[in-house]
């Protein structure tokens, strides 16, 4: 089963409107982190927002907010007041508490979804 | 505080040559992760290293790929005898601590093209 699923290959939004990018995840861990990254056409990976599995409040960072529904295992990204510069690929990622050796240190590699291409129209 | 540095940004190799990709983590970060992004795909984990140790290489192809993070100097991802299928963007990320609640900071990536 896919650990991170982003079901929207592409999304379109009008400038100044809000848009929601979907992300569902699959884990049996109790401790995990959920991340959203933006990848513009220039190719770099830009961190946007983070949600910890034990956080009771939805994370917010400026125009970005994360709609975290733990029981449904979803972590949707909401971008308010879209701007032309928001046009990019968006990746949802999860970091689990993995222990490579019994009693060892948790390290947690990131597992990424396939991404959603967001296009903002003027 | 400089971010994660990767060089070169673009690398062109002919089939059969070697590719060396370098990553300098952020100051104070001793945890380095390498990811590969094939065209039109998400990033896939390759290897996780701490200084002088490979902790998890479960995402590395069994042959031709190796990684190191020496006590001094950058982390190196080495691809021997490159093939066209190795063409991809290779990203390095560093983290101050390894747990699930800590952000990984990404470098700009190295775009490898194999002719």
Residues in chain B: 115
CA-only gyration radius of chain A, Å? 15
The pLDDT, as a whole number, for residue B112 is 97
According to the 3-state scheme, what is the secondary structure of chain B?
CCCCEEECCEEEECCCCCEEEEEECCCCCCEEEEEEECCCCCEEEEEEEECCEEEECCCCCCCCEEEECCCCCCEEEEECCCCHHHCEEEEEEEECCCCCCCCCEECCCEEEEEC
Asked if A97's CB is within 8 angstroms of B100's CB, the reply is yes
Joined tokens for residue A6: 């982003």
**Chain A contact present for B43, CB below 8 A:** yes
Measured CA to CA, the distance from residue B38 to residue B46 in angstroms comes to: 12
Asked if A107's CB is within 8 angstroms of B105's CB, the reply is no
Over the stretch B30-75, which tens digit does the pLDDT of each residue have?
899 999 999 888 899 999 998 889 988 989 999 999 999 998 899 9
Kindly give the pairing relationship between strand B53-56 and strand B65-68: unpaired
The structure tokens 């994370």 sit at A59
Asked if B100's CB is within 8 angstroms of A33's CB, the reply is yes
Phi/psi at A74 (nearest 5 deg)?
-130, 150
Kindly give the pairing relationship between strand A116-121 and strand A10-14: parallel
The pLDDT, as a whole number, for residue A1 is 59
**Chain A contact present for B39, CB below 8 A:** no
Question: Using CB atoms, which residue from A29, A109, A113 is nearest to B56?
Answer: A109
Q: Testing the interface with A: which of B3, B4, B42, B91 to mutate, by most A Cβ within 10 A? A: B42
B31 contact residues in A (CB cutoff 8 A): 107
- Least confident piece of the model among A53-57, B11-15, B43-47, B107-111: A53-57
The structure tokens 């390759």 sit at B46
Measured CA to CA, the distance from residue B67 to residue A70 in angstroms comes to: 36
Question: Using CB atoms, which residue from A4, A45, A111 is nearest to B91?
Answer: A45
Cα-based angle B41, B102, B100 (whole degrees, multiple of 5):
75
Share of residues in chain A with pLDDT > 90 (%): 73
Number of other residues whose CB lies within 10 A of the CB of residue B26 = 17
Q: Testing the interface with B: which of A31, A109, A112 to mutate, by most B Cβ within 10 A? A: A109
Which ranges of chain A have pLDDT less than 70? 1-2, 98-108
């Amino acid at each position: 089963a896919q650990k991170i699923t982003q079901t929207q290959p592409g999304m379109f939004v009008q400038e100044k409107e809000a848009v929601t990018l979907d992300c569902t995840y699959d884990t049996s861990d109790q401790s995990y982190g959920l991340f959203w990254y933006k990848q513009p056409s220039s190719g770099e990976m830009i961190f946007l927002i983070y949600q910890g599995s034990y956080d009771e409040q939805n994370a917010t960072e400026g125009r970005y907010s994360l709609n975290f529904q733990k029981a449904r295992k979803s972590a949707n990204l909401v971008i308010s007041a879209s701007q032309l510069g928001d046009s990019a690929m968006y990746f949802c990622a999860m970091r689990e508490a993995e222990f490579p050796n019994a009693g060892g240190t948790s390290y947690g590699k990131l597992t990424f979804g396939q991404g959603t291409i967001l296009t903002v129209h003027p | 505080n400089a971010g994660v540095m990767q060089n070169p940004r673009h690398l062109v190799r002919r089939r059969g040559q070697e590719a060396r990709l370098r990553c300098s983590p952020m100051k104070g970060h001793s945890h380095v992760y390498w990811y590969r992004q094939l065209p039109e795909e998400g990033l896939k984990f390759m290897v996780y290293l701490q200084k002088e140790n490979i902790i998890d290489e479960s995402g590395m192809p069994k042959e031709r790929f190796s990684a190191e993070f020496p006590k001094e100097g950058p982390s190196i991802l080495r691809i021997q005898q490159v093939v066209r299928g190795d063409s991809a963007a290779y990203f390095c990320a560093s983290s101050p601590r390894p747990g699930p609640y800590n952000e990984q900071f990404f470098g700009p990536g190295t775009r490898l093209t194999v002719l």
